Amino acid sequence: MMMLWCFYRCLFFVSLLNNVDLTSRKHHGKALILDGIIQCTEHDEFSYQEMISFLPLCAHPSPAKVLIVGGGDGGVAREVHKHPLVKEIVQVEIDAEVIEASKRYLPFMAVGFDSDKLTLNICDGFQYMKEHKDEFDVIITDSSDPIGPAVNLFTESYFGLLKGALRSGGIICSQNGTVWAGLDHVKETMEHCRKHFTTVKYAVASVPTYPSGQIGFVVASLDERDLTVPKHRFGEKELGEMELRYYNSEIHSASFVLPNFVRKVLQ
């Protein structure tokens, strides 16, 4: 969400106010700074991209066909491509300008678009899922949240759409806010998700330059299964070859362990 949001803001400011600061900073690498606030940095974007990708991929015994909804910066495609069992990736992004901005400013993320497993469609993800039922093993949602009174209505029907586009045994993962800024919203989201999915879990990853230093994900499966235990465990050699800097099998399980104040609300 934040990644996409930064691009919309970026495009807006580039074209209208020229108020974007794409600086190379010593500690963060390349950073996108708007109104003096860091939106994303080269230094820590990998934790978000790796976790939103590898949590559902490794929870699935054979994640052959993957759908990415949103993800216009290319970072999620970059990570999904690395999983050895992934054969085919479809990505649906509604805004071609986001992709162009990423290619221009954030090539270390846009490199994901070079994947030979990837088919990129510029279209509405909702419409796409309505027309592609029963097709995907894993669906990853990396998009901005809707705002306003219809949010909850949207959320429940959205999880219904995801369910319809999954093959049996399918798993989803969505970027889903933070427990520090919107615990009630997380709780509601999980309740909506439970109407369509049998197993629903919440995981967190640390992203130091995000406002609360953390980002959360809803991971859910059609079947009853322990999503906290990875079906594939990568050894040191594989982790090195895949250039994974955050995700490993121990982090996978640990990311589902939540503090007491969160556990109490989400259970």
The residue range among 2-10, 114-122, 165-173, 174-182 that interacts with ligand NAG, by the rule CB under 6 A, is: 174-182
Residues 6+ apart with CB under 8 A from 25: 31, 41
Q: Does 100 bind ligand NAG (CB under 6 A)?
A: no
Residues 6+ apart with CB under 8 A from 71: 4, 77, 91, 93, 112, 140, 142, 143
Q: For the chain, give the number of residues.
A: 267
Q: Which of 185, 212, 225, 242 binds ligand NAG (CB under 6 A)?
A: 185
Q: Does 219 bind ligand NAG (CB under 6 A)?
A: no
What separation in angstroms does the CA of 78 have from each of 50, 52, 103, 208, 244? 9, 12, 13, 21, 11
Q: Which of 29, 160, 164, 182 binds ligand NAG (CB under 6 A)?
A: 182
How many Å apart are CA 264 and CA 96, to the nearest integer?
41
Q: Which of 75, 170, 177, 230 binds ligand NAG (CB under 6 A)?
A: 177
* Residue whose CB is less far from ligand NAG, 181 or 229: 181
**At how many degrees (to 10) do helices 151-165 and 183-194 cross?**
40
Tell me the two tokens of residue 80: 């999904």
What are the catalytic residues?
Answer: 142
Closest approach of ligand NAG to the CB of residue 29, in Å = 27
Contacts of ligand NAG in 11-40 (CB under 6 A): none
Closest approach of ligand NAG to the CB of residue 10, in Å = 21
**Cβ(203)–Cβ(256) under 8 Å?**
yes
Q: Does 53 bind ligand NAG (CB under 6 A)?
A: no
Q: Which of 41, 91, 102, 189 binds ligand NAG (CB under 6 A)?
A: 189
Binding site for ligand NAG (CB under 6 A): 141, 143, 145, 151, 154-155, 158, 174, 176-177, 182, 185-186, 189
